[in-house]
Chain A
Amino acid sequence: MGPETVINSLRQQITSCESQLQDLKRQLAEAEYQSQQQRSNLQSEQSEHCAPYPLAYDFSHGVHDDFRAEILAALSQPEESIPSPKRWPLDPNEYKRYGRQLIMPEIGLQGQLRLKGASVLIVGVGGLGCPAAAYLVGAGVGTVGLVDGDTVEESNLHRQILHSAARVNMPKVESAMIALHSLNPNVDMVPHHGRLTPETAVSTFQPYDLVLDCTDTPASRYLVSDTCVLLGKPLVSASALRTDGQLMVLNYPPRPPGDTAGGPCYRCVFPKPPPPESVVSCGDGGILGPVVGTMGVLQALETIKILTRGPSALSDGLASPDPPSLLIFSAYANPMFRTIRLRTRKPKCAVCSTHATITPEVLNSGSLDYVQFCGTINPIDVLSSNERISAENYAKIRLDVNPFTGLEPSKDSHILLDVREKVQFEICSLEGSVNIPFSTISSTPADDCKGTATETGLESGWVSELRQHTDKPIFVVCRLGNDSQITVKKMKELGLDNGGQRWIGDIRGGLRAWRHNVDRDFPDY
């Protein structure tokens, strides 16, 4: 980090602290004012109660009662012009702040009071949680709890709108609280630092009326859903990846396990977790900010709809509005939105049916391993050590004599094959490297009887191209060093190593290792 960046960052931090301080001072003033109001109201009530019977004590204070009443009325005028909390159900500033939604029949005074009396838990303060929290806090939900164990990273900022450049490395919960507090100091914010675990889930969820699943792994999604079913909380669940998003309102109405009138849970819809190799994270697959933002905003919307329907709808759910559905958002499809009808509760669901095996006791005991249930991918390690080269040693080949061929360093002494997708290759690449995307490689059928495809001319272009230069060793590189190993294996299966005569291997740790150990300036995206 250059000195200017440090200066800028410090400036920003000071600005942020100052605005926080200002905010706190304003809150203090408000609180002091309110407590003063309450005291004076109490006093005037007491004096009313003790007020003597007017006729009996006409001259008791040396001044005629009528006259005295007039003086007192004049003196207390300024106080009376401010409506007491009893007179108006919302605070004065709340009428103004929420005025634009208050005048809508969907909300109205009753709806606003329901929002104010409600408590909502947001699990995950990332791309979904940030916009969801912003709108719920803005709308005046009384209590908002935030759960997250991560810290803010620079690569979060394009979509996680509550965080800021000045708050990189700060815990996400803390960063979000600062932003939300400056947005609406009327809302009670409850921080829950750390990742949700089966042991803590029940006690964390207990005090809230409704839960938003804004997490990013299958394991956490099952845990959040199970806990909501066991505690009878409606769940507003969303997810997003690349240009697509999905939204479901689950366990709504939140009937007890075994009651078929309750809404389906995540396990009803997805009884078995997906194979771990099919799960793609935003870090690997990419995510467009407004796509995940759209889904988070829709979560806030569904939450407001449920909360303003009133407590009866929350608990007995008789007024259950829509049948269970899944909203699919595809930013690049036409139309962008579509709604699918979902199943009802699954008669043999492991958590919400009469056959349920998951109970609060089981959850609290910690004996359920959600990570194991969803499976994990072992780090890829399919090559032997002589099929791999470190980034430093590959750098030597580019600069020194090639130990495999004895040739002077030159671009032509070997083939450097970069198997990242084309769009990533175009962001940055090593000079002289050739790009064959991993998707092309993995969609090439493995050749069972070597050579037949060559003879019949049906072989993929990239394979026959690489076959032409039989003398040059091939170095395969990717982003992190996983796809490169699979590629080396596949190329050998395709016979590109000429029965072992040509060296094919990968650069261990990929371009990340290259940046770490060889070229610090190579872009880190």
Chain B
Amino acid sequence: MSEAKNDGTIAITVEFSGGLEMLFSNERKLSLTIPGKDENGAKTNIAFLVRHLCNTVMKDPRKELFVLDDTVRPGILVLINDADWELEGEDKYEIEEGDNILFVSTLHGG
């Protein structure tokens, strides 16, 4: 993937599934432009993206349904370009231009 743009931002796609879209104004797919560096000047990682989504994008006040103890709550899978984030370094994965990040809430009904 290409480097961050000249203005230091990166364009990514964020998707929600399994009911999480309800916390994000029923949007299943968002095209976002996020800063390429975090507060401390380090490359933007998933942990930063989760904070960014929570503080800037999410209008619903029920933050606890998305984040718990500064990370994504149990029962949500984070998938980076269609692979479990555990395969990619979890929240330390450094986001690249064009990445697709999918948040899936597990379902239990049957």
Residues on A lying within 8 angstroms of B by beta carbon are 124, 126-129, 213-218, 221, 238-242, 244-246, 269-275, 277-282, 285, 287, 292, 326, 328, 330, 333, 338-343, 346, 439, 442-446
The residues of B that contact A333 with a CB separation of less than 8 Å are 17, 28
A343–B84 touching, CB < 8 Å:
yes
Contact of A341 among B64, B74, B87, B108 (CB under 8 A): B87
**In the complex, how many angstroms separate the beta carbon of B28 from the nearest chain A beta carbon?**
6
Q: List 16 A-B contacts (CB under 8 A).
A: A126-B110, A216-B108, A240-B109, A278-B105, A279-B75, A279-B108, A280-B108, A328-B104, A340-B82, A340-B104, A341-B82, A341-B84, A442-B60, A443-B61, A443-B62, A446-B61
**In the complex, how many angstroms separate the beta carbon of A313 from the nearest chain B beta carbon?**
24
Contact of B109 among A239, A271, A328, A446 (CB under 8 A): A239
A285–B109 touching, CB < 8 Å:
yes
CB-CB contacts below 8 Å: B82-105 with A: 82-84, 86-87, 102, 104-105
Given contacts A340-B79, A343-B86, contact A281 B74 (CB under 8 A): no
Residues on B lying within 8 angstroms of A by beta carbon are 17-19, 22, 28, 59-62, 64-65, 68, 73-77, 79, 82-84, 86-87, 102, 104-110
A132→B51 CA distance, assembly (Å): 41
A275–B109 touching, CB < 8 Å:
no
A127→B108 CA distance, assembly (Å): 12
A275–B108 touching, CB < 8 Å:
no
The residues of B that contact A328 with a CB separation of less than 8 Å are 17-18, 104
The residues of B that contact A244 with a CB separation of less than 8 Å are 17-19, 107
A287→B77 CA distance, assembly (Å): 22
The residues of B that contact A269 with a CB separation of less than 8 Å are 77, 84
A482→B75 CA distance, assembly (Å): 24
Q: A270-B74, A328-B17, A333-B28 are in contact. List 11 more A-B contacts (CB 8 A).
A: A124-B110, A239-B106, A242-B19, A246-B18, A274-B75, A278-B65, A281-B108, A330-B28, A343-B86, A343-B87, A443-B61
Interface centre among B19, B62, B108 (most CB of A within 10 A): B108
A240→B108 CA distance, assembly (Å): 7
The residues of A that contact B76 with a CB separation of less than 8 Å are 274
B77–A275 touching, CB < 8 Å:
no
A240–B62 touching, CB < 8 Å:
no
**In the complex, how many angstroms separate the beta carbon of A428 from the nearest chain B beta carbon?**
23
Given contacts A339-B82, A341-B87, A442-B60, contact A127 B110 (CB under 8 A): yes
**In the complex, how many angstroms separate the beta carbon of B105 from the nearest chain A beta carbon?**
7
Given contacts A241-B19, A339-B82, A341-B84, contact A326 B77 (CB under 8 A): yes
**In the complex, how many angstroms separate the beta carbon of A325 from the nearest chain B beta carbon?**
9
B62–A442 touching, CB < 8 Å:
yes
A343→B83 CA distance, assembly (Å): 8
A239→B75 CA distance, assembly (Å): 13
Given contacts A244-B19, A442-B62, contact A282 B86 (CB under 8 A): no
**In the complex, how many angstroms separate the beta carbon of A457 from the nearest chain B beta carbon?**
18
The residues of B that contact A277 with a CB separation of less than 8 Å are 64-65
A404→B37 CA distance, assembly (Å): 59
B61–A445 touching, CB < 8 Å:
yes
A164→B68 CA distance, assembly (Å): 44
Residue of A nearest to B85 (CB): A343
B106–A270 touching, CB < 8 Å:
yes
Contact of A340 among B22, B74, B84, B107 (CB under 8 A): B84
A275→B65 CA distance, assembly (Å): 8
**In the complex, how many angstroms separate the beta carbon of A55 from the nearest chain B beta carbon?**
72
A239–B110 touching, CB < 8 Å:
yes
Contact of B74 among A238, A242, A272 (CB under 8 A): A272
Contact of A443 among B17, B60, B105, B109 (CB under 8 A): B60
Residue of B nearest to A443 (CB): B60
B107–A341 touching, CB < 8 Å:
no
The residues of A that contact B84 with a CB separation of less than 8 Å are 269, 340-343
**In the complex, how many angstroms separate the beta carbon of A411 from the nearest chain B beta carbon?**
33
B61–A341 touching, CB < 8 Å:
no
The residues of B that contact A245 with a CB separation of less than 8 Å are 107
**In the complex, how many angstroms separate the beta carbon of A433 from the nearest chain B beta carbon?**
24
B109–A340 touching, CB < 8 Å:
no
A215→B104 CA distance, assembly (Å): 20
**In the complex, how many angstroms separate the beta carbon of A134 from the nearest chain B beta carbon?**
15
B64–A340 touching, CB < 8 Å:
no
**In the complex, how many angstroms separate the beta carbon of B32 from the nearest chain A beta carbon?**
18
B75–A215 touching, CB < 8 Å:
no
A129→B110 CA distance, assembly (Å): 8
The residues of B that contact A439 with a CB separation of less than 8 Å are 22
Given contacts A244-B19, A275-B64, A285-B19, contact A340 B108 (CB under 8 A): no
Residue of B nearest to A216 (CB): B110
B108–A217 touching, CB < 8 Å:
yes
Contact of B75 among A240, A278, A330, A339 (CB under 8 A): A278
Which are the 4 A-B pairs with shortest beta-carbon distances?
Answer: A274-B75, A272-B74, A343-B86, A239-B107
B74–A246 touching, CB < 8 Å:
no
**In the complex, how many angstroms separate the beta carbon of A65 from the nearest chain B beta carbon?**
69
A218–B108 touching, CB < 8 Å:
yes
**In the complex, how many angstroms separate the beta carbon of B101 from the nearest chain A beta carbon?**
12
**In the complex, how many angstroms separate the beta carbon of B70 from the nearest chain A beta carbon?**
15
The residues of B that contact A273 with a CB separation of less than 8 Å are 74-75
